[in-house]
Amino acid sequence: MRISELSERTGVSVATIKWYVREGLLAPGHRRSATQAEYDDDHVARLRLIKALGEVPGLPVQRIKAIVDLLDHPHADLVASLADALAQLPPYPAGPVAGPAPGRPSAAEALDLIGYAYDPQFPAVAQLDAALGAATAVIPFDEDTFAEYGKHLRAIAESEIGKIPDDPAAAVPYGVLGTALYEPVLLALRRLALYDAASRLLPADRPE
Amino acid sequence: MRISELSERTGVSVATIKWYVREGLLAPGHRRSATQAEYDDDHVARLRLIKALGEVPGLPVQRIKAIVDLLDHPHADLVASLADALAQLPPYPAGPVAGPAPGRPSAAEALDLIGYAYDPQFPAVAQLDAALGAATAVIPFDEDTFAEYGKHLRAIAESEIGKIPDDPAAAVPYGVLGTALYEPVLLALRRLALYDAASRLLPADRPE
């Protein structure tokens, strides 16, 4: 198809498509003549992917390029590819991992509490540390609530990892995109779950 | 205490404290003389709260003020206060709720699938709709995964709502802050859960 049809099918403007090609996010079309290039279904799929990633709040285009590069050239080790891809997603912790502070555990201690693997190089560790610091400055750390988070998020993760295809080439996009694109779904659902539970359980019918 | 001690105890600069007072986020100190005001532990607590909310990515100061106003003047109905406070948190969906699209359910249908309360006025409904739209443009909607999310997030929400104090005055800050400040913790933990599950389950030891 021509670039105009590619634009029509994906809802991405011709100017933006050309910019993605120049920036290396999208492969050039196949040359038919000096002035025309032919695009195929792979271009459609890649453009839909870039568009969807572009809607992730706070994900800059350089990070989208890094994710796309990882999809095109994954590591042999699937876990390493997944970790690298997750590192591209916001938020981007500003500082190094802090130690334990009064009234709250360090990220390492918190993960130990719930039996999660701990790797200080994995960016989500610094992310957890920063988030725990902000939260516990106002609400005391509650071990039971944290254990509840750990249990249920582990169940969700095991269900998601169980669905990842055996083929490493298919597994990387699946894992990366599932994380990037389903986090906003999870966050929205979390608020809806709170609203649903509040409507059912507050204030008259609170269970013991 | 004087403003200098308040600044020291909270790590918020004197200039910023004065700005918060002018903007109505913080009550003025108690006048001792024409040039001196006295601050107390309530000021310390409120400043720590504003500071913690200021670290929530993408939460502008006007939204922080709306949350603080809601804490000072909650609705009689706790669920309404919680809904209003959640509406202040990012992300802020741009458009109205879309209808169902090919290959994916509307937010109403998705919530019906998992038995959640549906209220089109609640902002997280538009948030869910936008998130589902972006995600399903790339990965087909999977009913089982979504049901898994719904089940586990409901369990987390019920545990959190169960901990909300019976006193409505205490319940609003607890619910609001718990949502705003623990979302980043949940997101970080979700990535760590994926990493943990991937390390254990991929690629050699994948269960059937």
B130:A55 CB<8 A: yes
Q: Determine the Cα–Cα distance for residues B182 and B180; give it in Å rounded to an integer.
A: 6
Q: Determine the Cα–Cα distance for residues B51 and B87; give it in Å rounded to an integer.
A: 20
How many contacts (CB atoms, under 8 Å) link A and B?
Answer: 278
Q: Determine the Cα–Cα distance for residues A47 and A8; give it in Å rounded to an integer.
A: 12
Predicted model pTM:
0.81
A9-28 residues touching B, CB cutoff 8 A: none
Q: Determine the Cα–Cα distance for residues B32 and B121; give it in Å rounded to an integer.
A: 47
B152:A148 CB<8 A: no
Of B131, B152, B202, the CB nearest to A164: B202
- For chain A, the C-alpha Rg in angstroms (whole number) is 21
Q: Residue ranges of chain A with pLDDT lower than 50? A: 205-208
Query: How many other CB atoms are found less than 10 A from the CB of residue B134?
Result: 20
For CA atoms B159, A201, A198, B53, give the dihedral sign: negative
pLDDT level of residue B94 (50, 70, 90 thresholds): low
Residue B202 touches partner A, C-beta closer than 8 Å = yes
Query: How many other CB atoms are found less than 10 A from the CB of residue B28?
Result: 12
**The predicted structure's pLDDT at residue B206:** 40
DSSP A102-122: TTB--HHHHHHHTT----TTS
Residue B76 touches partner A, C-beta closer than 8 Å = no
**The predicted structure's pLDDT at residue A39:** 95
For B147-198, the pLDDT digits (tens) are: 999 999 999 999 888 887 776 667 777 777 777 888 889 989 999 998 898 8
For A71-128, the pLDDT digits (tens) are: 888 777 778 877 888 888 877 766 555 555 677 888 999 999 999 988 888 888 888 9
**The predicted structure's pLDDT at residue A203:** 63
Which residue type is seen at A19?
Answer: W
**The predicted structure's pLDDT at residue B6:** 95
Shortest Cα distance, chain B CAs vs residue A191, angstroms:
6
**The predicted structure's pLDDT at residue B78:** 77
Query: Stretch B36-65: mean pLDDT, rounded?
Result: 87
B198:A79 CB<8 A: yes
Chain A residues closer than 8 Å to B192 by CB: 111, 116-117, 122, 124-125, 128
B181:A135 CB<8 A: yes
Q: What is the mean pLDDT of chain B?
A: 84
Least confident of A162-171, B28-37, B106-115, B198-207: B198-207
**Are residues A180 and A67 in contact, defined by beta-carbon separation less than 8 angstroms?**
yes
Nearest to A167 by CA among A54, A78, A46: A78
Two tokens, residue B165: 């104090």
Cα separation of the two ends of chain A: 64
User: What's CA B153's distance to the chain center, in Å?
Assistant: 15
User: Three-state SS across B12-71?
Assistant: CCHHHHHHHHHHCCCCCCEECCCCCEECCHHHHHHHHHHHHHHCCCCCCHHHHHHHHHHH
Of B79, B134, B178, the CB nearest to A202: B79
Of B135, B174, B197, the CB nearest to A161: B197
pLDDT level of residue B113 (50, 70, 90 thresholds): very high
**The predicted structure's pLDDT at residue B156:** 93
**Are residues A180 and A59 in contact, defined by beta-carbon separation less than 8 angstroms?**
yes
Residue A80 touches partner B, C-beta closer than 8 Å = no
Which residue type is seen at A192?
Answer: L
DSSP B104-172: B--HHHHHHHTT----TTSHHHHHHHHHHHHHHTTS---HHHHHHHHHHHHHHHHHHHHHS-SSHHHHH
**The predicted structure's pLDDT at residue B77:** 78
Name the maximum alpha-carbon separation found in chain B.
76
> Across chain A, how many H-helices and E-strands are there?
9, 2
B174-193 residues touching A, CB cutoff 8 A: 174-175, 177-179, 181-193
Nearest to B130 by CA among A183, A63, A163: A183
Shortest Cα distance, chain B CAs vs residue A36, angstroms:
28
**The predicted structure's pLDDT at residue A170:** 72
Give CA torsion, residues B153, B155, B158, B160, to 10 deg.
Answer: -70
**The predicted structure's pLDDT at residue B171:** 72
Chain A residues closer than 8 Å to B169 by CB: none
B159:A145 CB<8 A: yes
Highest mean pLDDT among A129-143, A153-167, B16-30, B116-130: B16-30
**The predicted structure's pLDDT at residue A35:** 83
Residue A90 touches partner B, C-beta closer than 8 Å = yes
A135:B52 CB<8 A: yes
Q: Is the pLDDT of residue B41 over 80?
A: yes
Q: Determine the Cα–Cα distance for residues A194 and A184; give it in Å rounded to an integer.
A: 16
Q: Determine the Cα–Cα distance for residues A55 and A38; give it in Å rounded to an integer.
A: 27
Chain B residues closer than 8 Å to A158 by CB: 197, 201
Chain A residue closest to B166 (CA)? A203
Shortest Cα distance, chain A CAs vs residue B66, angstroms:
18
B117:A164 CB<8 A: no
Left, alpha or beta for A24 (phi > 0: left; psi -120 to 50: alpha)?
left
H helix intervals, A37-122:
41-54, 61-72, 78-87, 107-113
Of A142, A190, A192, the CB nearest to B111: A192
Cα separation of the two ends of chain B: 64
B195:A86 CB<8 A: yes
Q: What does the DSSP 8-state code read for residue A32?
A: S
Of B157, B175, B178, the CB nearest to A196: B157
- Strands B37-38 vs B30-31: parallel, antiparallel or unpaired: antiparallel
